[in-house]
Structure 1
Amino acid sequence: MAYWQWGDTGNPHVVVCVHGLSRQGRDFDALARMLAPHMRVVCPDVVGRGRSDWLADPAHYQIPVYAADMLAMLAQLQAQSPISRLDWVGTSMGGLIGLVVAGQAGLPLPAPVRRLVLNDVGPVVQWDALQRIGTYLGKSGTFASLEQAASAMWAVSTGFGPHSPQQWLDLSRHMVRPAVTGEPEGPLVLHYDPRIAEPLGALTQQAAGQGEAVLWQLYDRIEAATLLLRGADSDLLTRATAEQMTERGPRARLLEFPGVGHAPTLVADDQRQAVAEFLK
Protein backbone atom coordinates (compact mmCIF):
# COMPACT_ATOMS: atom_id res chain seq x y z
CA MET A 1 0.00 0.00 0.00
CA ALA A 2 1.42 3.32 -1.09
CA TYR A 3 0.99 6.46 0.98
CA TRP A 4 1.88 10.13 0.64
CA GLN A 5 3.44 12.13 3.45
CA TRP A 6 3.42 15.85 4.19
CA GLY A 7 5.16 17.81 6.92
CA ASP A 8 7.92 16.85 9.36
CA THR A 9 8.24 13.05 9.46
CA GLY A 10 9.41 13.37 13.06
CA ASN A 11 6.30 15.24 14.21
CA PRO A 12 4.56 13.10 16.88
CA HIS A 13 1.16 14.52 15.86
CA VAL A 14 -0.07 12.41 12.92
CA VAL A 15 -3.28 12.79 10.95
CA VAL A 16 -4.28 10.02 8.55
CA CYS A 17 -6.46 11.17 5.63
CA VAL A 18 -8.32 8.39 3.81
CA HIS A 19 -10.19 8.86 0.54
CA GLY A 20 -13.48 7.63 -0.89
CA LEU A 21 -14.36 4.47 -2.79
CA SER A 22 -12.97 5.30 -6.24
CA ARG A 23 -10.53 8.04 -5.26
CA GLN A 24 -6.90 8.14 -4.06
CA GLY A 25 -4.65 9.83 -1.52
CA ARG A 26 -3.73 12.88 -3.58
CA ASP A 27 -7.31 14.11 -3.10
CA PHE A 28 -6.01 15.65 0.13
CA ASP A 29 -3.20 17.74 -1.37
CA ALA A 30 -4.89 21.08 -0.64
CA LEU A 31 -5.82 20.11 2.93
CA ALA A 32 -2.38 18.58 3.55
CA ARG A 33 -0.64 21.79 2.54
CA MET A 34 -2.65 23.63 5.19
CA LEU A 35 -2.00 21.05 7.91
CA ALA A 36 1.64 20.22 7.17
CA PRO A 37 3.20 23.09 9.18
CA HIS A 38 1.50 21.72 12.31
CA MET A 39 1.39 17.93 11.95
CA ARG A 40 2.58 14.94 9.94
CA VAL A 41 -0.06 14.23 7.30
CA VAL A 42 -0.28 10.71 5.86
CA CYS A 43 -2.57 10.06 2.87
CA PRO A 44 -2.70 6.40 1.80
CA ASP A 45 -3.82 5.06 -1.56
CA VAL A 46 -6.18 2.33 -0.37
CA VAL A 47 -5.22 -0.98 -1.96
CA GLY A 48 -6.46 -1.27 -5.55
CA ARG A 49 -6.17 2.49 -6.07
CA GLY A 50 -3.50 4.99 -7.06
CA ARG A 51 0.05 3.73 -6.61
CA SER A 52 -0.97 0.77 -4.45
CA ASP A 53 -1.01 -2.83 -5.63
CA TRP A 54 -4.16 -4.54 -6.87
CA LEU A 55 -5.52 -7.56 -5.02
CA ALA A 56 -5.51 -10.98 -6.66
CA ASP A 57 -8.99 -11.70 -5.30
CA PRO A 58 -11.43 -8.79 -5.73
CA ALA A 59 -13.65 -10.24 -3.00
CA HIS A 60 -11.12 -8.83 -0.54
CA TYR A 61 -11.88 -5.24 -1.53
CA GLN A 62 -13.71 -4.80 1.77
CA ILE A 63 -13.59 -2.42 4.76
CA PRO A 64 -12.05 -4.96 7.22
CA VAL A 65 -9.12 -5.56 4.85
CA TYR A 66 -8.60 -1.84 4.40
CA ALA A 67 -8.65 -1.29 8.16
CA ALA A 68 -6.06 -4.02 8.67
CA ASP A 69 -3.84 -2.31 6.08
CA MET A 70 -4.14 0.95 8.01
CA LEU A 71 -3.06 -0.75 11.23
CA ALA A 72 -0.01 -2.14 9.43
CA MET A 73 0.80 1.30 8.04
CA LEU A 74 0.47 2.93 11.47
CA ALA A 75 2.80 0.31 12.96
CA GLN A 76 5.36 1.16 10.30
CA LEU A 77 4.97 4.90 10.93
CA GLN A 78 5.34 4.34 14.67
CA ALA A 79 8.57 2.40 14.06
CA GLN A 80 9.90 5.30 11.99
CA SER A 81 9.03 7.97 14.56
CA PRO A 82 6.84 7.66 17.70
CA ILE A 83 3.25 8.87 17.42
CA SER A 84 1.76 10.53 20.50
CA ARG A 85 -1.32 12.17 18.92
CA LEU A 86 -3.35 10.40 16.24
CA ASP A 87 -6.18 12.02 14.27
CA TRP A 88 -8.24 10.70 11.35
CA VAL A 89 -9.94 12.38 8.40
CA GLY A 90 -12.08 10.03 6.33
CA THR A 91 -14.15 10.86 3.26
CA SER A 92 -17.00 8.43 2.57
CA MET A 93 -15.29 5.00 2.50
CA GLY A 94 -12.36 6.51 4.39
CA GLY A 95 -14.79 7.51 7.12
CA LEU A 96 -16.15 3.96 7.36
CA ILE A 97 -12.58 2.70 7.75
CA GLY A 98 -12.20 5.33 10.47
CA LEU A 99 -15.27 3.96 12.26
CA VAL A 100 -13.62 0.53 12.38
CA VAL A 101 -10.29 1.91 13.59
CA ALA A 102 -11.71 4.32 16.19
CA GLY A 103 -14.68 2.22 17.31
CA GLN A 104 -12.91 -0.95 18.43
CA ALA A 105 -11.09 -1.11 21.74
CA GLY A 106 -7.90 -3.10 21.90
CA LEU A 107 -6.64 -2.53 18.37
CA PRO A 108 -2.84 -2.21 18.13
CA LEU A 109 -2.82 1.55 17.55
CA PRO A 110 0.25 3.64 18.43
CA ALA A 111 -2.14 6.04 20.20
CA PRO A 112 -5.94 6.24 20.54
CA VAL A 113 -7.69 8.22 17.82
CA ARG A 114 -7.99 11.67 19.43
CA ARG A 115 -10.03 13.53 16.82
CA LEU A 116 -12.13 12.01 14.04
CA VAL A 117 -13.48 13.80 10.99
CA LEU A 118 -16.23 11.92 9.16
CA ASN A 119 -16.74 13.52 5.75
CA ASP A 120 -20.27 12.89 4.48
CA VAL A 121 -20.64 9.39 5.84
CA GLY A 122 -22.22 7.63 8.77
CA PRO A 123 -23.54 4.24 9.87
CA VAL A 124 -26.51 4.50 7.48
CA VAL A 125 -25.49 4.60 3.81
CA GLN A 126 -28.45 5.26 1.54
CA TRP A 127 -29.17 2.37 -0.82
CA ASP A 128 -30.10 4.68 -3.71
CA ALA A 129 -26.69 6.37 -3.43
CA LEU A 130 -24.92 3.01 -3.58
CA GLN A 131 -26.89 2.13 -6.69
CA ARG A 132 -25.96 5.47 -8.26
CA ILE A 133 -22.27 4.84 -7.60
CA GLY A 134 -22.63 1.36 -9.06
CA THR A 135 -23.77 2.78 -12.38
CA TYR A 136 -20.27 4.13 -13.15
CA LEU A 137 -17.81 2.37 -10.82
CA GLY A 138 -15.36 0.24 -12.80
CA LYS A 139 -16.91 1.05 -16.19
CA SER A 140 -14.57 3.68 -17.60
CA GLY A 141 -12.73 3.31 -20.90
CA THR A 142 -9.67 5.18 -22.14
CA PHE A 143 -9.12 8.91 -22.49
CA ALA A 144 -7.10 10.79 -25.07
CA SER A 145 -6.07 13.50 -22.59
CA LEU A 146 -6.26 14.58 -18.97
CA GLU A 147 -8.83 17.19 -19.93
CA GLN A 148 -11.06 14.56 -21.53
CA ALA A 149 -10.75 12.37 -18.44
CA ALA A 150 -11.53 15.31 -16.15
CA SER A 151 -14.66 16.10 -18.17
CA ALA A 152 -15.85 12.49 -17.99
CA MET A 153 -15.26 12.34 -14.24
CA TRP A 154 -17.08 15.62 -13.67
CA ALA A 155 -20.16 14.16 -15.36
CA VAL A 156 -20.53 11.70 -12.45
CA SER A 157 -19.05 13.95 -9.74
CA THR A 158 -21.14 17.13 -9.76
CA GLY A 159 -22.19 16.28 -6.22
CA PHE A 160 -18.73 17.41 -5.13
CA GLY A 161 -20.01 20.96 -5.50
CA PRO A 162 -18.58 24.01 -7.28
CA HIS A 163 -14.92 23.86 -8.33
CA SER A 164 -12.88 26.10 -10.57
CA PRO A 165 -11.57 24.45 -13.76
CA GLN A 166 -8.07 24.42 -12.24
CA GLN A 167 -9.25 22.88 -8.97
CA TRP A 168 -11.03 20.08 -10.84
CA LEU A 169 -8.05 19.49 -13.11
CA ASP A 170 -5.80 19.21 -10.04
CA LEU A 171 -8.19 16.70 -8.45
CA SER A 172 -8.35 14.73 -11.72
CA ARG A 173 -4.63 14.62 -12.43
CA HIS A 174 -3.90 11.77 -10.04
CA MET A 175 -7.04 9.86 -10.99
CA VAL A 176 -5.54 8.57 -14.23
CA ARG A 177 -2.48 6.62 -15.34
CA PRO A 178 -1.04 5.70 -18.76
CA ALA A 179 -2.97 2.90 -20.41
CA VAL A 180 0.39 1.44 -21.50
CA THR A 181 3.13 1.38 -18.90
CA GLY A 182 6.07 3.51 -19.95
CA GLU A 183 4.09 5.59 -22.45
CA PRO A 184 3.04 8.73 -20.56
CA GLU A 185 2.03 10.54 -23.74
CA GLY A 186 -0.42 7.85 -24.81
CA PRO A 187 -4.05 7.22 -23.81
CA LEU A 188 -5.05 7.30 -20.14
CA VAL A 189 -7.20 5.06 -17.95
CA LEU A 190 -8.52 5.50 -14.44
CA HIS A 191 -6.01 4.69 -11.71
CA TYR A 192 -8.00 1.99 -9.91
CA ASP A 193 -8.62 -1.72 -10.36
CA PRO A 194 -12.05 -1.93 -12.05
CA ARG A 195 -12.74 -5.02 -9.94
CA ILE A 196 -13.25 -2.84 -6.85
CA ALA A 197 -16.80 -2.65 -8.20
CA GLU A 198 -17.43 -6.37 -7.72
CA PRO A 199 -18.12 -6.39 -3.95
CA LEU A 200 -20.46 -3.42 -4.37
CA GLY A 201 -22.23 -5.17 -7.22
CA ALA A 202 -22.72 -8.26 -5.05
CA LEU A 203 -24.12 -6.29 -2.11
CA THR A 204 -27.82 -6.77 -1.38
CA GLN A 205 -30.09 -4.28 0.31
CA GLN A 206 -30.63 -6.78 3.13
CA ALA A 207 -26.88 -7.17 3.69
CA ALA A 208 -26.46 -3.40 3.66
CA GLY A 209 -29.12 -3.12 6.34
CA GLN A 210 -27.37 -5.71 8.49
CA GLY A 211 -24.12 -3.78 8.10
CA GLU A 212 -25.80 -0.66 9.48
CA ALA A 213 -26.33 -2.31 12.85
CA VAL A 214 -22.63 -3.16 13.09
CA LEU A 215 -21.61 0.37 12.07
CA TRP A 216 -23.88 1.91 14.71
CA GLN A 217 -22.26 -0.32 17.34
CA LEU A 218 -18.84 0.90 16.24
CA TYR A 219 -19.99 4.51 16.18
CA ASP A 220 -21.46 4.31 19.67
CA ARG A 221 -18.11 3.09 21.03
CA ILE A 222 -16.07 5.96 19.60
CA GLU A 223 -14.42 8.09 22.28
CA ALA A 224 -12.64 10.50 19.93
CA ALA A 225 -13.97 14.03 19.55
CA THR A 226 -15.87 13.82 16.27
CA LEU A 227 -16.63 16.36 13.56
CA LEU A 228 -19.26 15.34 11.01
CA LEU A 229 -19.14 17.16 7.68
CA ARG A 230 -22.12 16.91 5.36
CA GLY A 231 -22.90 18.21 1.92
CA ALA A 232 -26.32 19.78 2.39
CA ASP A 233 -27.50 18.05 -0.81
CA SER A 234 -25.90 14.67 -0.03
CA ASP A 235 -27.77 11.56 -1.20
CA LEU A 236 -25.52 9.22 0.82
CA LEU A 237 -25.77 10.76 4.30
CA THR A 238 -29.26 12.04 5.10
CA ARG A 239 -29.92 14.93 7.45
CA ALA A 240 -31.84 12.56 9.73
CA THR A 241 -28.87 10.24 10.10
CA ALA A 242 -26.53 13.17 10.64
CA GLU A 243 -28.75 14.55 13.40
CA GLN A 244 -28.92 11.13 15.02
CA MET A 245 -25.10 11.06 15.03
CA THR A 246 -25.09 14.31 17.02
CA GLU A 247 -27.25 12.70 19.71
CA ARG A 248 -25.53 9.37 20.33
CA GLY A 249 -22.04 7.85 20.57
CA PRO A 250 -19.42 10.61 20.43
CA ARG A 251 -22.17 13.20 19.76
CA ALA A 252 -20.52 14.53 16.64
CA ARG A 253 -20.50 18.23 15.91
CA LEU A 254 -22.32 18.66 12.58
CA LEU A 255 -21.21 21.13 9.94
CA GLU A 256 -23.07 21.35 6.62
CA PHE A 257 -21.92 22.95 3.38
CA PRO A 258 -24.66 24.41 1.14
CA GLY A 259 -24.57 23.72 -2.58
CA VAL A 260 -22.58 20.51 -2.06
CA GLY A 261 -23.73 16.90 -2.30
CA HIS A 262 -21.67 13.76 -1.77
CA ALA A 263 -18.99 14.55 -0.84
CA PRO A 264 -17.16 17.77 0.08
CA THR A 265 -13.66 17.54 -1.46
CA LEU A 266 -11.97 19.62 1.29
CA VAL A 267 -10.51 21.89 -1.38
CA ALA A 268 -12.64 24.99 -0.73
CA ASP A 269 -11.18 27.32 1.87
CA ASP A 270 -14.12 27.07 4.28
CA GLN A 271 -14.02 23.27 4.20
CA ARG A 272 -10.26 23.09 4.77
CA GLN A 273 -10.35 25.67 7.54
CA ALA A 274 -13.10 23.81 9.39
CA VAL A 275 -10.98 20.66 9.44
CA ALA A 276 -7.77 22.47 10.31
CA GLU A 277 -9.34 24.35 13.23
CA PHE A 278 -10.84 21.13 14.60
CA LEU A 279 -7.55 19.21 14.40
CA LYS A 280 -5.36 22.03 15.76
Structure 2
Amino acid sequence: MSEPTLKYLEMPTLAAAGGGARRLAYWDWAGASTLDASHAVVCVHGLSRQGRDFDTLARALAGRVRVLSVDVAGRGHSDWLADPMGYQIPQYGADIATLLQHVRAQEGVSTIDWVGTSMGGLIGLGLAAQAAMGLRRLVLNDVGPAVRWEALQRIGTYLGLDPVFDSAEAAIDYLGSISLGFGPHTPEQWRALNLPMLRCDGDRWRLHYDPAIAVPYRALMGLDEAQGRAAAAAGEAALWGLYDNLRLPTLLLRGATSDLLSAETARDMGMRGPCARLVTFDGVGHAPTLVAPDQVETVRRFLLDMP
Protein backbone atom coordinates (compact mmCIF):
# COMPACT_ATOMS: atom_id res chain seq x y z
CA MET A 1 0.00 0.00 0.00
CA SER A 2 1.53 3.34 -1.05
CA GLU A 3 -0.94 5.83 0.42
CA PRO A 4 -2.96 5.87 3.66
CA THR A 5 -6.65 6.47 4.15
CA LEU A 6 -7.66 9.67 5.95
CA LYS A 7 -10.18 8.91 8.69
CA TYR A 8 -11.99 10.96 11.34
CA LEU A 9 -13.23 10.16 14.83
CA GLU A 10 -15.63 12.41 16.72
CA MET A 11 -14.29 13.57 20.07
CA PRO A 12 -16.53 13.65 23.16
CA THR A 13 -15.00 16.76 24.79
CA LEU A 14 -14.26 20.36 23.76
CA ALA A 15 -15.95 22.03 20.82
CA ALA A 16 -14.50 22.74 17.42
CA ALA A 17 -13.61 26.32 16.54
CA GLY A 18 -16.74 26.62 14.40
CA GLY A 19 -18.93 25.14 17.14
CA GLY A 20 -20.47 21.71 17.39
CA ALA A 21 -18.80 18.32 17.19
CA ARG A 22 -15.04 18.10 16.86
CA ARG A 23 -13.15 15.51 14.84
CA LEU A 24 -9.72 13.98 15.28
CA ALA A 25 -8.07 13.07 11.97
CA TYR A 26 -5.73 10.13 11.53
CA TRP A 27 -4.05 8.37 8.64
CA ASP A 28 -4.66 4.64 8.46
CA TRP A 29 -1.97 2.59 6.72
CA ALA A 30 -3.87 -0.70 6.49
CA GLY A 31 -4.63 -2.81 3.49
CA ALA A 32 -5.31 -6.32 2.27
CA SER A 33 -1.59 -7.09 2.32
CA THR A 34 -1.15 -6.25 6.03
CA LEU A 35 -0.05 -9.45 7.75
CA ASP A 36 -1.34 -8.56 11.22
CA ALA A 37 -4.16 -6.01 11.23
CA SER A 38 -4.70 -6.65 14.96
CA HIS A 39 -1.31 -5.03 15.67
CA ALA A 40 -1.29 -1.23 15.34
CA VAL A 41 1.64 1.16 15.58
CA VAL A 42 0.36 4.61 16.58
CA CYS A 43 2.62 7.48 15.47
CA VAL A 44 2.29 10.97 16.97
CA HIS A 45 4.16 14.05 15.77
CA GLY A 46 5.86 17.03 17.37
CA LEU A 47 4.44 20.34 18.55
CA SER A 48 3.90 22.12 15.23
CA ARG A 49 3.94 19.17 12.83
CA GLN A 50 1.31 16.69 11.53
CA GLY A 51 0.73 12.99 10.95
CA ARG A 52 2.24 12.70 7.46
CA ASP A 53 5.67 13.13 9.06
CA PHE A 54 5.66 9.35 9.46
CA ASP A 55 5.06 8.37 5.83
CA THR A 56 8.49 6.82 5.31
CA LEU A 57 8.36 4.83 8.54
CA ALA A 58 4.77 3.78 7.84
CA ARG A 59 5.68 2.40 4.43
CA ALA A 60 8.41 0.31 6.06
CA LEU A 61 5.99 -1.11 8.63
CA ALA A 62 2.69 -1.30 6.78
CA GLY A 63 3.18 -4.70 5.16
CA ARG A 64 3.56 -6.27 8.58
CA VAL A 65 1.25 -4.26 10.85
CA ARG A 66 -1.34 -1.51 10.74
CA VAL A 67 0.02 2.03 11.18
CA LEU A 68 -2.10 4.92 12.47
CA SER A 69 -0.51 8.37 12.26
CA VAL A 70 -2.48 11.06 14.06
CA ASP A 71 -3.05 14.74 13.31
CA VAL A 72 -3.18 16.11 16.85
CA ALA A 73 -5.94 18.66 17.55
CA GLY A 74 -5.37 21.93 15.71
CA ARG A 75 -2.93 20.39 13.22
CA GLY A 76 -3.36 18.99 9.74
CA HIS A 77 -6.89 17.75 9.09
CA SER A 78 -8.01 17.66 12.73
CA ASP A 79 -10.44 20.38 13.79
CA TRP A 80 -9.27 23.51 15.54
CA LEU A 81 -10.38 24.08 19.13
CA ALA A 82 -12.82 26.78 20.18
CA ASP A 83 -10.80 27.30 23.38
CA PRO A 84 -7.08 27.57 22.60
CA MET A 85 -6.15 26.76 26.20
CA GLY A 86 -7.18 23.20 25.31
CA TYR A 87 -4.01 22.92 23.24
CA GLN A 88 -2.12 21.07 25.96
CA ILE A 89 -0.82 17.55 26.46
CA PRO A 90 -3.59 16.31 28.82
CA GLN A 91 -6.22 17.05 26.14
CA TYR A 92 -4.11 15.52 23.39
CA GLY A 93 -3.69 12.40 25.49
CA ALA A 94 -7.44 12.19 26.15
CA ASP A 95 -8.16 12.51 22.43
CA ILE A 96 -5.80 9.74 21.43
CA ALA A 97 -6.96 7.53 24.31
CA THR A 98 -10.42 7.79 22.72
CA LEU A 99 -8.93 6.72 19.40
CA LEU A 100 -7.17 3.73 21.01
CA GLN A 101 -10.39 2.67 22.70
CA HIS A 102 -12.22 2.96 19.37
CA VAL A 103 -9.80 0.81 17.36
CA ARG A 104 -9.72 -1.81 20.11
CA ALA A 105 -13.50 -2.01 20.49
CA GLN A 106 -14.60 -1.45 16.89
CA GLU A 107 -11.76 -2.44 14.58
CA GLY A 108 -10.18 -5.57 16.07
CA VAL A 109 -6.90 -4.06 17.26
CA SER A 110 -5.46 -5.93 20.23
CA THR A 111 -1.77 -4.92 20.26
CA ILE A 112 -0.66 -1.27 20.25
CA ASP A 113 2.84 0.18 20.01
CA TRP A 114 3.64 3.89 20.18
CA VAL A 115 6.12 6.03 18.23
CA GLY A 116 6.20 9.63 19.43
CA THR A 117 8.41 12.49 18.25
CA SER A 118 9.04 15.26 20.78
CA MET A 119 5.55 16.28 21.99
CA GLY A 120 4.22 12.99 20.63
CA GLY A 121 6.66 11.18 22.88
CA LEU A 122 5.43 13.06 25.95
CA ILE A 123 1.83 12.17 25.08
CA GLY A 124 2.90 8.55 24.75
CA LEU A 125 4.72 8.66 28.06
CA GLY A 126 1.53 9.77 29.78
CA LEU A 127 -0.57 7.07 28.12
CA ALA A 128 2.01 4.32 28.63
CA ALA A 129 1.85 5.04 32.37
CA GLN A 130 -1.85 4.07 32.33
CA ALA A 131 -2.21 0.30 32.50
CA ALA A 132 -5.64 0.50 30.88
CA MET A 133 -4.05 1.77 27.65
CA GLY A 134 -2.16 -1.51 27.33
CA LEU A 135 0.73 -0.23 25.22
CA ARG A 136 3.19 -2.99 24.29
CA ARG A 137 6.28 -1.02 23.21
CA LEU A 138 7.23 2.66 23.34
CA VAL A 139 9.53 4.68 21.06
CA LEU A 140 10.49 8.12 22.37
CA ASN A 141 12.03 10.21 19.60
CA ASP A 142 14.36 12.87 21.01
CA VAL A 143 12.37 13.64 24.14
CA GLY A 144 12.40 12.74 27.81
CA PRO A 145 11.19 13.96 31.18
CA ALA A 146 13.71 16.81 31.23
CA VAL A 147 13.30 19.34 28.41
CA ARG A 148 15.91 22.07 28.09
CA TRP A 149 14.57 25.57 28.70
CA GLU A 150 16.77 26.93 25.92
CA ALA A 151 15.06 24.64 23.39
CA LEU A 152 11.64 25.86 24.53
CA GLN A 153 12.80 29.42 23.96
CA ARG A 154 14.00 28.55 20.45
CA ILE A 155 10.71 26.89 19.53
CA GLY A 156 8.86 29.92 20.84
CA THR A 157 10.50 32.13 18.22
CA TYR A 158 8.39 30.58 15.46
CA LEU A 159 5.52 28.64 17.04
CA GLY A 160 2.12 30.11 16.24
CA LEU A 161 3.32 32.45 13.52
CA ASP A 162 0.98 32.64 10.54
CA PRO A 163 3.19 33.48 7.56
CA VAL A 164 1.71 33.66 4.07
CA PHE A 165 3.68 32.45 1.06
CA ASP A 166 3.37 33.09 -2.66
CA SER A 167 4.37 29.53 -3.53
CA ALA A 168 4.67 26.09 -1.98
CA GLU A 169 8.40 26.21 -2.70
CA ALA A 170 8.81 29.39 -0.65
CA ALA A 171 6.90 27.81 2.21
CA ILE A 172 9.00 24.65 2.07
CA ASP A 173 12.16 26.77 2.15
CA TYR A 174 10.84 28.58 5.23
CA LEU A 175 10.07 25.32 7.02
CA GLY A 176 13.55 24.11 6.20
CA SER A 177 15.03 27.25 7.75
CA ILE A 178 13.34 26.57 11.12
CA SER A 179 14.03 22.83 11.00
CA LEU A 180 17.81 22.66 10.69
CA GLY A 181 17.94 20.18 13.56
CA PHE A 182 16.22 17.60 11.37
CA GLY A 183 19.59 16.93 9.75
CA PRO A 184 20.50 16.49 6.09
CA HIS A 185 17.75 15.57 3.62
CA THR A 186 17.54 15.52 -0.15
CA PRO A 187 15.32 18.14 -1.80
CA GLU A 188 12.80 15.37 -2.52
CA GLN A 189 12.76 14.30 1.15
CA TRP A 190 12.31 17.92 2.29
CA ARG A 191 9.40 18.37 -0.07
CA ALA A 192 7.74 15.12 1.02
CA LEU A 193 8.11 16.07 4.68
CA ASN A 194 6.89 19.62 4.37
CA LEU A 195 4.28 19.71 1.60
CA PRO A 196 1.66 18.21 3.99
CA MET A 197 2.52 21.05 6.38
CA LEU A 198 0.89 23.50 3.96
CA ARG A 199 -2.69 24.45 3.12
CA CYS A 200 -3.81 26.41 0.10
CA ASP A 201 -5.56 29.72 0.80
CA GLY A 202 -6.71 31.09 -2.53
CA ASP A 203 -3.52 31.64 -4.51
CA ARG A 204 -1.38 31.73 -1.35
CA TRP A 205 -0.02 29.10 1.04
CA ARG A 206 -0.21 28.96 4.82
CA LEU A 207 0.92 26.54 7.50
CA HIS A 208 -1.49 23.65 8.17
CA TYR A 209 -2.16 24.37 11.84
CA ASP A 210 -4.14 26.69 14.06
CA PRO A 211 -1.80 29.54 15.09
CA ALA A 212 -3.57 29.46 18.47
CA ILE A 213 -1.72 26.25 19.38
CA ALA A 214 0.89 28.68 20.71
CA VAL A 215 -1.43 30.30 23.28
CA PRO A 216 -0.68 27.93 26.22
CA TYR A 217 2.98 27.85 25.20
CA ARG A 218 3.22 31.63 25.26
CA ALA A 219 1.54 31.69 28.66
CA LEU A 220 4.38 29.53 29.97
CA MET A 221 7.08 31.46 28.14
CA GLY A 222 5.55 34.74 29.30
CA LEU A 223 6.54 33.97 32.85
CA ASP A 224 9.74 35.57 34.03
CA GLU A 225 12.72 33.22 33.76
CA ALA A 226 12.68 32.17 37.40
CA GLN A 227 8.96 31.35 37.30
CA GLY A 228 9.31 29.61 33.95
CA ARG A 229 12.16 27.45 35.13
CA ALA A 230 10.24 26.61 38.31
CA ALA A 231 7.20 25.53 36.26
CA ALA A 232 9.45 23.49 33.98
CA ALA A 233 11.08 21.84 37.01
CA ALA A 234 7.67 20.88 38.44
CA GLY A 235 6.65 19.38 35.10
CA GLU A 236 9.97 17.53 34.89
CA ALA A 237 9.48 15.98 38.33
CA ALA A 238 6.00 14.75 37.34
CA LEU A 239 7.29 13.26 34.09
CA TRP A 240 10.15 11.48 35.84
CA GLY A 241 7.56 10.00 38.19
CA LEU A 242 5.65 8.60 35.22
CA TYR A 243 8.80 7.38 33.50
CA ASP A 244 10.19 5.65 36.58
CA ASN A 245 7.03 3.54 36.83
CA LEU A 246 7.13 2.30 33.23
CA ARG A 247 7.98 -1.35 32.63
CA LEU A 248 7.32 -1.78 28.91
CA PRO A 249 10.22 -2.12 26.45
CA THR A 250 11.30 1.40 25.49
CA LEU A 251 13.52 2.69 22.70
CA LEU A 252 14.98 6.19 23.05
CA LEU A 253 16.22 7.95 19.92
CA ARG A 254 18.41 11.03 20.18
CA GLY A 255 19.95 13.44 17.71
CA ALA A 256 23.59 13.80 18.71
CA THR A 257 23.35 17.61 18.68
CA SER A 258 19.83 17.86 20.12
CA ASP A 259 19.17 21.03 22.08
CA LEU A 260 16.01 19.55 23.66
CA LEU A 261 17.12 16.15 25.00
CA SER A 262 20.49 16.34 26.70
CA ALA A 263 22.99 13.49 26.68
CA GLU A 264 22.76 13.43 30.48
CA THR A 265 18.97 12.98 30.46
CA ALA A 266 19.26 10.28 27.81
CA ARG A 267 21.86 8.46 29.92
CA ASP A 268 19.63 8.65 33.00
CA MET A 269 16.70 7.27 31.01
CA GLY A 270 18.83 4.25 30.23
CA MET A 271 19.33 3.56 33.92
CA ARG A 272 15.90 4.42 35.36
CA GLY A 273 12.36 3.14 34.92
CA PRO A 274 12.16 0.92 31.81
CA CYS A 275 15.92 1.38 31.21
CA ALA A 276 15.40 2.60 27.66
CA ARG A 277 17.65 1.34 24.91
CA LEU A 278 19.41 4.46 23.56
CA VAL A 279 20.33 4.96 19.91
CA THR A 280 22.02 8.23 18.92
CA PHE A 281 22.18 9.54 15.35
CA ASP A 282 25.15 11.64 14.31
CA GLY A 283 24.66 14.78 12.25
CA VAL A 284 21.13 15.28 13.61
CA GLY A 285 19.72 17.61 16.26
CA HIS A 286 16.10 17.91 17.31
CA ALA A 287 14.62 15.75 16.02
CA PRO A 288 15.36 12.70 13.85
CA THR A 289 12.67 12.61 11.16
CA LEU A 290 12.61 8.81 10.77
CA VAL A 291 13.28 9.22 7.07
CA ALA A 292 16.93 8.12 6.87
CA PRO A 293 17.30 4.34 6.35
CA ASP A 294 19.27 3.79 9.58
CA GLN A 295 16.60 5.60 11.61
CA VAL A 296 13.76 3.64 9.99
CA GLU A 297 15.54 0.32 10.43
CA THR A 298 16.25 1.02 14.11
CA VAL A 299 12.56 1.55 14.82
CA ARG A 300 11.42 -1.30 12.57
CA ARG A 301 13.70 -3.82 14.28
CA PHE A 302 12.67 -2.70 17.77
CA LEU A 303 8.95 -2.97 17.00
CA LEU A 304 8.88 -6.04 14.78
CA ASP A 305 12.03 -8.13 15.12
CA MET A 306 13.36 -7.88 18.66
CA PRO A 307 11.97 -10.45 21.11
* Residue pair 1:104, 1:218 contacting (<8 A) in 2 also: no
1:224 aligns with 2:241: no
> Is 2:104–2:110's contact at 8 Å kept on the other side of the alignment?
no
Q: Which aligned pairs between 1:161-180 and structure 2 lie closer than 5 A? A: 161-179=183-201
2:206 is matched with: 189
Q: How does 1:18-167 map to 2 (within 5 A)?
A: 18-105=44-131, 107=132, 109=133, 112-167=134-189
Q: What secondary structure does 2:139 align onto?
A: strand
TM-score, structure 1 normalization: 0.95
Given residue 128 of structure 2, which amino acid in structure 1 is its aligned partner? A
Structure 1 unaligned blocks of 5 or more: none
2 CA distance for matches of 1:58 and 1:140? 15
Tell me if 1:7 matches 2:24: no
Deviation at 1:34, TM superposition (A): 0.4
- The Cα shift of 1:242 comes to 0.1
1:201 aligns with 2:227: no
More displaced, 260-269 or 6-15? Answer: 6-15
**CA drift at 1:211:** 0.3
Q: For 2:179, give the aligned amino acid.
A: S
Letter in 1 for 2:263: R
Larger mean Cα displacement after TM superposition, 133-142 or 9-18 = 9-18
Answer whether contact 1:103 1:220 (CA < 8 A) is retained: no
TM-score of the aligned structures, taking structure 2 as reference length? 0.86
Further displaced range: 237-246 or 132-141: 132-141
Q: Look up the SS of the partner of 1:132 in the other structure.
A: helix
Number of residue-to-residue matches in the alignment:
271
SS at match of 2:302: helix
Given that 1:24 and 1:45 are in contact with CA atoms closer than 8 Å, whether structure 2 keeps it comes out as yes
Post-superposition shift, 1:226?
Answer: 0.3
1:256 aligns with one of 276, 280, 285 = 280
Which letter does structure 2 place at the counterpart of 1:200?
Y
**Cα distance between partner residues in 2 of 1:66 and 1:196:** 12
Shift of 1:39: 0.5
Name 2:270's counterpart in structure 1: 246
User: What's the CA shift for 1:139?
Assistant: 1.3
Please tell me the root mean square deviation across aligned C-alpha atoms, in Å: 1.1
Mapped contact 1:15–1:87 kept (Cα < 8 A): yes
